[in-house]
Chains A and B, each alone.
Chain A
């Protein structure tokens, strides 16, 4: 192929001297020229591909790191709940109202009655729903949402109550058959992208008796139209109960929603009824079925499986009790077969806090149990490090959950439950067989595995440290489960794929993802599967696009890459102090420069993102004349906005890093959605949060800051304005815009 190396060479003259009458270049020359261009272009494309790949890696790393952070937030809420924080006289009620499945004093009937009494004003121009729903209603909804209208809170509540009633009678695992319809359509994550849902309906038709659908979870969060999507899906669910099926995803979880946008979206769109709506969503989400099985051959779950997954057990689980996968069920003393060690109990007031949920990340079950036992030792000297884990772990700085590497650890064998533990009793030690984990915990485990696991290509089943929940399951685990239940295929979602779908485990596992442009415009396609009685999946891809002209590969990469790099720079900025301290350790002579190696090492260990730092370096930091990295240059591009309260740089950085968390907390405190909280509330919240994080904060600094943000000196803070001050500006972008 191609040309050989020895070709007769013609006399070549410089182009400018070419005789204009020669029309055709010599064949040899043409070939050489062509090869040169081809070589160059292929190299150029390879470079683009590399950029595209690392852009992808960046987005994924940051996304998963963010999910790990989520565990931190939920542990903070646990902390607040358990310590019965009194914030401005609103006790645990304030938090538990949103976080716990507290038994509502009002019964279902009373609540529904109240909701029926809501009056829809004359001025409302959106769609009206009448129950039971008909095709008119679903059409009205689709039209209205295309025109950016909002459904009135009354109807939302009605819809939710009806959905709740309906879902209560559904089993955990739904069995479907293809024999009554031509093909079943299976869609993956939508994440609030209404455009994608509408595109699917446009290409594939609306749900109906002839056109059944399964939506595999993660309908909400991240995208801006989560409410619209969930309303449409629930409406079709009620309209076609036998032909529309929804599986629960890991984002159908009120704690995830707090961080990833659904809660905010609801509160913004529904000022009056938002809180109640969220409360009902919490219940409805936990009532969503966990799995769907087609023709007894194809299993569909949102995340994946583990080596503990058992469909029969799964069918018996009380799924509505698992309101959130992020809250480990508490263990009570009753669960332990020995009520011993009265010595220790005086140390911890009241009930000893046996559960150490997420502050220590996802440790293996058995080691957690061991910790629990050891807490009873209290003053026993033999209780090494583990005894400190009980109540003090609440305030431990965020460490463990971020210690986990991206790559899956080699499959550890989870310690068997038959390990014997030594527990002090009176003056001696008693050998105890650790009790079986209570049923509640086993059920919770089953659910978490289904919602959070990811497939990997090595055999075995290991804890999914990257995500902080669920497992990595290998082809052998898939094979075992499929065989156990006589299945032939596992369809799951949960992971974004560039082509919208991906096969693995020798074709036994399919990942299907339906939110196109998930990370950024042009980042990936979305896809759905059609499955007929022969059970051979057909894939359909699509991509929503804002522009009508097709973007070139180069343009797509450029946009996505720009976005990824911005996100990465923000991360660097958010950890500035830590990074600078580490850089300076290598820079003994204070030259302001360190080697590329050292730079890459520091950044990787501080940010804990497994990315190709050397390849990225040219985009993030500058080299000095001697070829070393001028490490301060990583922070040059970013500056905080103009309007910033006078705070020390360290405080500014901390506030910047946790601004999302703070926003969530403020939103919870701000019961009447006025956008204002009192200075006292602000101070207390910040103190709590920072003590939980283990960040030393000067009280005076907080007071000063609080007072300075109180612009109109009326004792309350507009926290949106406050947070706005901590948005960053990317200076290079600004420059480009100014020049362009």
Chain B
């Protein structure tokens, strides 16, 4: 890393990013956010927690007597730690592909909407009907009425990452500290298999 980015700068920059994200959801401009938005904020900062992991974080952030709101004073230190420790790491593209392939045991290259629905609304940390509907509306190929998951992943991988979308993607370094969405930046998980 370049000299400019010593530990202090990293922390400051991270905290400013957190502050920015927090502010977007601080509707009343009083340094609090609705506890139901915590998942959205943390995820938008580059983390991929599971629902269970998220519940733990929220438990930590809530007040002694839950008010339905989370204060910035509590939010900042907890989330700074999460980002700096790179908890809840991103899922690399190939790992995601493998996940779909596990479900597609017949190796057809696609999944039926009913199949995917069954898996995602019954297994793991089930989707709500709304979540499932929204995913299907985006994922199902209108002509063939199946989910071509490889295409789906690569399209959304690109679009969900503005750095790749615009011509201004920096090739040399990840420009957002700790938000490594690209698979290369995360050590240790690339090339992993689902075990």
* B-binding residues in A (CB < 8 A): 1-3, 9, 12, 14-15, 18, 20, 22-25, 29-50, 53-54, 57, 406-408, 456-458, 550, 552-554, 558, 596-597, 600, 612-615, 618-619, 621-623, 625-627, 633, 732
Contact = CB atoms under 8 A, between A and B. Distances in A.
Interface in B137-195: 137-138, 156, 159-160, 162-163, 166-168, 170, 172-173, 175-176, 193-195
21 contacts: A18-B105, A23-B105, A25-B102, A32-B99, A32-B124, A32-B195, A33-B119, A36-B96, A37-B124, A38-B51, A39-B125, A42-B51, A46-B39, A47-B43, A47-B160, A50-B24, A53-B24, A458-B28, A612-B24, A623-B170, A633-B168
B21 A46 contact: no
Interface in B1-34: 2, 4-5, 12-13, 16-17, 20-21, 23-25, 28-30
A633 B131 CA distance: 38
Contacts of A552: 134, 137-138
B24 A30 contact: no
A457 B30 contact: yes
A49 B44 CA distance: 8
B120 A38 contact: yes
B166 A732 contact: yes
B123 interface: yes
Contact of B119 (A18, A30, A554): A30
Contact of B125 (A35, A43, A457): A35
A502 to B, nearest CB: 10
A33 B99 contact: yes
Contacts of A53: 24-25
Contacts of A553: 134, 137-138
B24 A54 contact: yes
Contacts, number: 187
Contacts of A37: 96, 99-100, 119-120, 124
B13 to A, nearest CB: 7
A35 to B, nearest CB: 4
B49 A46 contact: no
B24 A44 contact: no
A349 to B, nearest CB: 46
B127 A38 contact: yes
Contacts of B41: 46, 50
Contacts of B96: 36-37, 40
Q: Which 10 A-B pairs have the closest CB atoms?
A: A34-B124, A46-B43, A50-B44, A35-B124, A622-B168, A34-B123, A612-B20, A33-B102, A33-B99, A36-B99
A384 to B, nearest CB: 33
Given A25-B102, A47-B43, A552-B138, 20 more contacts: A2-B52, A12-B195, A18-B105, A30-B119, A34-B125, A37-B119, A37-B124, A40-B48, A43-B48, A45-B134, A46-B39, A49-B44, A53-B24, A57-B24, A407-B29, A614-B20, A615-B24, A618-B175, A618-B176, A622-B170
A619 B134 contact: no
Interface in B92-112: 95-96, 98-103, 105-107
Nearest to A50: B44
Contacts of A54: 24
Interface of B: 2, 4-5, 12-13, 16-17, 20-21, 23-25, 28-30, 39-44, 47-52, 91, 95-96, 98-103, 105-107, 119-120, 123-127, 131, 134-135, 137-138, 156, 159-160, 162-163, 166-168, 170, 172-173, 175-176, 193-195
B16 A42 contact: no
Contacts of A25: 102-103, 105
A421 B134 CA distance: 65
A550 B138 CA distance: 11
B4 A626 contact: yes
B119 A623 contact: no
A29 to B, nearest CB: 5
Contacts of B160: 44, 47-48
A14 to B, nearest CB: 7
B20 A613 contact: yes
Contact of B131 (A2, A39, A45, A458): A45
A18 B107 contact: yes
A2 B52 CA distance: 7
A627 B24 contact: no
A283 B77 CA distance: 58
Contact of A618 (B28, B131, B162): B162
A39 B48 CA distance: 6
A20 B101 CA distance: 13
Nearest to A633: B168
Contacts of B50: 2, 35, 38-39
A50 B46 CA distance: 12
B19 to A, nearest CB: 8
B48 A596 contact: no
B124 A2 contact: yes
A710 B120 CA distance: 67
Contact of B102 (A30, A38, A456): A30
Given A38-B127, A408-B29, A458-B30, A618 B24 contact: no
B13 A38 contact: no
A481 to B, nearest CB: 20
B40 A49 contact: yes
Nearest to B134: A553
B3 to A, nearest CB: 10
B175 to A, nearest CB: 5
A46 B40 contact: yes
A625 B120 CA distance: 41
A618 B194 contact: no
Nearest to A600: B16
Nearest to A14: B193
Given A12-B193, A38-B125, A614 B17 contact: yes
Contacts of A12: 193-195
A14 B120 CA distance: 22
Given A25-B103, A31-B124, A37-B120, A554 B52 contact: no
A46 B194 contact: no
A613 B17 CA distance: 9
B100 A33 contact: yes
A166 B156 CA distance: 58
B123 A1 contact: no
A613 B21 CA distance: 10
A57 B22 CA distance: 13
A175 B166 CA distance: 56
A614 B12 CA distance: 13
A612 B43 contact: no
Nearest to A35: B124
Contacts of B40: 46, 49-50
Nearest to B124: A34
Contacts of A48: 160
A30 B91 contact: no
B4 A627 contact: yes
Contacts of B42: 46
A34 B119 contact: yes
A130 B43 CA distance: 62
A33 B194 contact: yes
A553 to B, nearest CB: 6
B154 to A, nearest CB: 13
Given A30-B103, A36-B99, A50-B21, A627 B134 contact: no
B89 to A, nearest CB: 10
A525 to B, nearest CB: 16
Nearest to A36: B99
Nearest to B12: A597
A502 B23 CA distance: 20
Given A40-B91, A615-B20, A22 B105 contact: yes
A45 B135 CA distance: 9
B4 A1 contact: no
B47 to A, nearest CB: 7
